[in-house]
Each structure stands twice: as C-alpha cells, then as structure tokens.
Amino acid sequence: MKDLFGKAILDYQTNNSPEDLITETSISEADEMSVAYLFRDFKEMPKLEQKALQLAKGKVLDVGCGAGSHALYLQEKGFDITAIDISENAIKACELRGLKNCQVSDVLDFDSPEKFDTILLLMNGTGIFGKMNQISKFLQKLKSLLNEGGQILIDSSDLIYMYDQDEDGAYEVPANGYYGELTFSIQYKGETEDTFDWLYLDYNTLQNAAIANGLECKLILEGKHFDYLAKLSKL
C-alpha cells in the first residue's frame, strides 16, 4: 500500500501543496474529491455523522478515523476516545491536529486491554469489510471489543440505485456476487494506489449479518442518497 489517501491528508494538514484525490470504482468513473472535506467540522458533516456523534457514549473507539474529525469533535466534548487507522500518514496528521490517543492499526489486529461503550465506523463504515465473506470476521472482532450494553454505530449505502432497471422495473445487477462489492482505486499527485476491495451494504443485508453474529441491528436514520446509520448491540 502506497498510503496515498493518508499522504493527501498529511499534505493538507502540513500545507504541503495538497491536491484533489481522484477516486474510481468498478461501477463508477473517476471523480475528484477535495481533501478539505475530510477536515470538516461538526456543522459541515452529513446528518448521519452528526447523529452518530450525538449518540456516542462512554469510552469510544473510532475505527478508520482518517483525518480524525469525528474523534477530535468527541475529544473536545470530553470523551475518552481512541482512534485507529491503517494509514500511518493519516495518524501523523491526527497527532498534529491534537488527537491524544490514536494509533496505526487494522481493527482485526487491534488489541486493547479495555473494552468500549461506543465503536464508530463512519463514512461507509462497512467498506472495510471488503467482501461479503469477510463480514462475520469483522463483526465478531467488533463484538469482542464491546462492553456489555455497548453499541456499534455504522453507516453505509444501498447501491442498487447505481444499476439500470429493465422494462419490468427489476434492477440489472451482476449475477456473480453481491452488487455492493466494489473494487476501489485512488490517484494522488500522479501516483496510483493498488486497487482494494470496498463493501457497500444495504440495510437488510447488514441486519441479517448482524443477527447471524449475535448482534441486534436497529435502523437509526436514513439519508437522502440511499445511505443510512445503524446501531448494532449484543443480543
């Protein structure tokens, strides 16, 4: 991994001539993304993210923290928050922004002596699952990090709207695999990141996976673009 996403974040934080990221998926064309968006404050965040932060309680873990905007907001509110990301550059930027407890870690490798009351996975939190056959592994790990009475707040989008419909109204989705399984690529300053798997889950599929892994799943809020926020908790 070249860590181009993290490099863009660190460039923005250090004012090192940041440029837009170019993102592309297996079902969409290249699109420009301003790195500044990752540094938004609470009032600039989508309603789903605002709601998740308002629901946070107790000791918090932010998984895939990126530039650290969610974690910083909660830290300023007095929360005991730990933030993790696989990007070394992103974590450097978080430290420079004043985030006190952040570390480079894949959540599957994350080892904590303490458990958490709230685990956040935002900005399409299901993305890190990668593939359908990886969901249980991730949910079991997240469940193991939860205190009794704890919650996992996670968002995603139903990508069915991205597919054409036939004359009967049925969506023309791929026959092989789940339609939310994408491959993702990033370009930054002329470099191209290795492609990686990224998973978007419709709510019913997430709910079924949660139940299969001993978790209750509740729909908290729906957005304007087929996106939603869900809360998972131990059964």
Nearest-angstrom CA–CA distance, 224 and 85:
28
Model pLDDT, residue 161: 87
The dihedral over CA atoms of 102, 229, 139, 8, expressed in degrees to the nearest 10, equals -40
Cβ atoms of 145 and 112 closer than 8 Å: yes
pLDDT tens across 196-231, in order? 999 999 999 999 999 999 999 999 999 988 999 999
DSSP bridge partners of 185: 24
pLDDT for 170 beyond 90: no
Cβ atoms of 98 and 130 closer than 8 Å: no
Lowest-pLDDT choice from 59-73, 138-152, 172-186 = 172-186
pLDDT tens across 94-153, in order? 999 999 999 999 999 999 999 999 999 999 999 999 999 999 999 999 999 999 999 999
pLDDT band at 84 (very low <50, low <70, confident <90, very high): very high
Question: Hunting for tokens 């490798």 — which residue is that?
Answer: 109
pLDDT for 181 beyond 80: yes
Statement: the pTM of the whole predicted model exceeds 0.75: yes
Greatest distance between any 2 Cα atoms in the chain: 56
Measured in degrees and rounded to the nearest 5, phi and psi for residue 71 equal -65, -40
CB atoms inside a 10 Å sphere around CB 143: 19
pLDDT for 168 beyond 80: no
Nearest-angstrom CA–CA distance, 124 and 182:
13
